[in-house]
Amino acid sequence: MTTHLAWLLMLVLGNILTAGQIPPQGFRYASYEVIIPRRQNARYRQQDPKEVTYLLKIEGESHMVQLRRKRDLVPKHFPVFTYSKKGDIRVDYPFIRDDCFYDGLIHGRPHALVVLSTCSRGLRGLLRVENKTYEIKPIQTSSTFQHVVYRLEEEEEVIHMKCGLTVEKQHHQEAMIRKIENVATKSALKGSWWTHIRYAKIAVVVEHERYVQFGRNETVVAMQLLDIIHIANSLYEPLGIHVSLVGMEIWSEKNLIPIADTLDTVLDDFNQWRQNVLASRLEHDAGHLFIYKKFGTDLGLAYVAGMCTPDYASAVESYVAPILVSFATIFAHELGHNLGMRHDERHCVCDLPDCIMAKRHTLSHKFSNCSYNDYYTEITWGRKECMKIYPDTNKLYKLKYCGNKVVEHGEQCDCGSKLSCESDPCCQSDCMLRSGVTCAFGECCSKCQYLPAGTICRKSNSVCDLPEYCNGTSEWCPEDVYVQDGAPCQDGAYCYHGNCSTHKDQCKMIFGSQANVAAKSCFRELNARRDRFGNCGITTGSDFKECKVHDVFCGRIQCENINYLPSLEEHNTIIQTRINNRLCWGTDYHNGMGIADIGAVRDGTPCGKGMICINRECASVSLLNYDCNVTKCHKRGICNNHKHCHCDYGSAPPYCVGKGYGGSIDSGPPPPHKAVSAGTIGGIIILLGVATGTALGIYYRSRLMSCYRRLGGRLHPMA
């Protein structure tokens, strides 16, 4: 048994050390072994649950590793750009799992770092335990879930690989980048809010030789990139930075730039290509080129502080060893340069012998105090504004050609590949409609034919909104129209951009149905404080505006009668303030939150008799120029935002004079049966009520309130 085990270990070690799989220069394999991870909560029977625990026995010690799944490392539609033999570029969206990446902890080891993925039938990634760095990966041919675990250790008195950035290059780069920065923007943004998290959206280009070394397998290349991004994301987490991969390009047939013998030249050439070519088809904060070539002792080079600057957001990494952990730290190092981090000097510390931004290549997983300071300085001066934007995980990047599933000029439809078009009943592979077909998509298209005229395609969603109908000759629903701004709606409010907003309804939306608008003293006191809980807006420089006396009801919403704390989106803060023995409730907001502001009083909300809030100021409703008098639509309709009559059922547009089925010249033709929504009827009724006198006004007002109650008092977001 012992002889067999020794033979197996020698076989595994031989597999590691052959085919160029020697450790990176300056490191050695300090230990290696074959283990079988034991899953501790397999009873849940999920392939990749949100949380999972494994027992790993490494170098004679048992480690209970608890893992928690991470998301958003890769977009939902992950673009992979490749080239045909003729040089034509193609973009594919292969299925890339985003549910198999984990960060974790080790019980009893509070300072351990665990970054693993389960995407390839086993555990792959990094374990850092008591300053020992391990890499684990599955043995693909094993039927018993065997894994190789090896520990890398730095060698003394040998030449170490290093970053190619010198002090002279750094000073030259910084001078170039600072020259193109907008000084006015920097001054305006100085002291801006520190966001809760910033997002580094990276595009990676794989040069041809590296692609060949991975067997020309796009999936293998993509999974290695994701493992690298995953580890780097964990290293940057303490700084509040989320690193994600927005797309990948593979130079599958040949390199599109010459791979020179110096990293300086390669970086300059790649940066020019990135600006001129890649940036036009793949949005990114920084582009990195991964190369399979040796450049002496240099492993990478990047433009310092180039992130978010279109002219210099580039880096190059060169690596020939297959060690995932080592490559990930090289990538993290060069990305640090993009973020403004310089090489560590002697006074820079991080509780480890070396930190990530050391000039020589290390396996450190911590940034130094100097790196933190460099990055915070960049943020404070507003030089990394692109990182405030959350990655769009649903975005599609499409090249213009028939077969990309996007209808472009000269195409009637686009069903994709020839195979997918075979099962498409409407569209042919030449991007033209099949015989006898009138449409292939759209709100007014069903089963390859236009929907009949009068089919509702967009319902009214409030008393100030209007429905739209298919016209029978187009696949598109007409433009979304709504009641003209300034039309009275309910509780002294006026329609504004399709909404009927009040302080009371906004309080109910935030705090629940029992909530009510707070006393006037709450608005007067709190909105004059000029802080994140009470203000009339935020200036360009992120200072809060104090509300003027007549604008206090247009600042931040103040509510009362709150029985429980609502479940709000992450980063929202609720505050309770006592004013004159009354409890005032509100929410906060600042520029760094990156989410919708639910606590700003909505435009169109009444702030006095004949007054409404517009842009945090209380203004006369007459500014809306509402001119839909009772004669224009002959008391049988109401004006829409184009000032055209939207007629009640029984009369016909454009002026609601003759008999018809209602609607307007903008809405499409309604059906010949009475199907106008309650919201529309309510809007028409209240307009007529205001116009025709007190008695009718009371009657129609009661009709409107009945309609509004049937709608459940819904409050809808601003357009």
Residue 415 contacts residue 433 (beta carbons within 8 Å): no
Q: Which residues of 130-148 are buried (b: 16+ CB within 10 A; e: fewer)?
A: eebbbbbbbbeeeeeebbb
Alpha carbon distance, N-terminus to C-terminus of the chain: 73
Angstrom distance (rounded) from CA 329 to CA 319: 11
Calculated CA dihedral for residues 492, 497, 498, 500, nearest 10 degrees? -20
Cis peptide before 654 (omega within 30 of 0): yes
Angstrom distance (rounded) from CA 553 to CA 493: 14
- The three-state secondary structure class of 588 is coil
Contacts of 652 (CB under 8 A, 6+ apart): 658, 659, 660, 661, 662
* 111 marked among binding-site residues: no
- What distance lies between CA 397 and its chain's CA centroid? 15
**Would you tell me how many other CB atoms lie within 10 Å of the CB of residue 306?**
25
- What distance lies between CA 26 and its chain's CA centroid? 39
Q: The dihedral of CA 369, 370, 373, 378: what is its sign?
A: negative
Tokens of 443: 């709100």
* 337 marked among binding-site residues: yes
Angstrom distance (rounded) from CA 158 to CA 648: 87
Angstrom distance (rounded) from CA 59 to CA 31: 8
Tokens of 555: 């600042």
**Active-site residue, selected from the candidate residues 135, 249, 334, 617:** 334
Contacts of 399 (CB under 8 A, 6+ apart): 89, 90, 91, 281
Query: Nearest-CA neighbor of 645 among 665, 624, 659, 625?
Result: 665
* 343 marked among binding-site residues: yes
Q: Is 334 marked active-site?
A: yes
Residue 431 contacts residue 409 (beta carbons within 8 Å): no
Angstrom distance (rounded) from CA 306 to CA 383: 9
Angstrom distance (rounded) from CA 123 to CA 140: 11
Angstrom distance (rounded) from CA 441 to CA 437: 11
Catalytic residues, which ones? 334
Residues of the binding site: 333, 337, 343
Annotated binding site for Zn(2+): 333, 337, 343
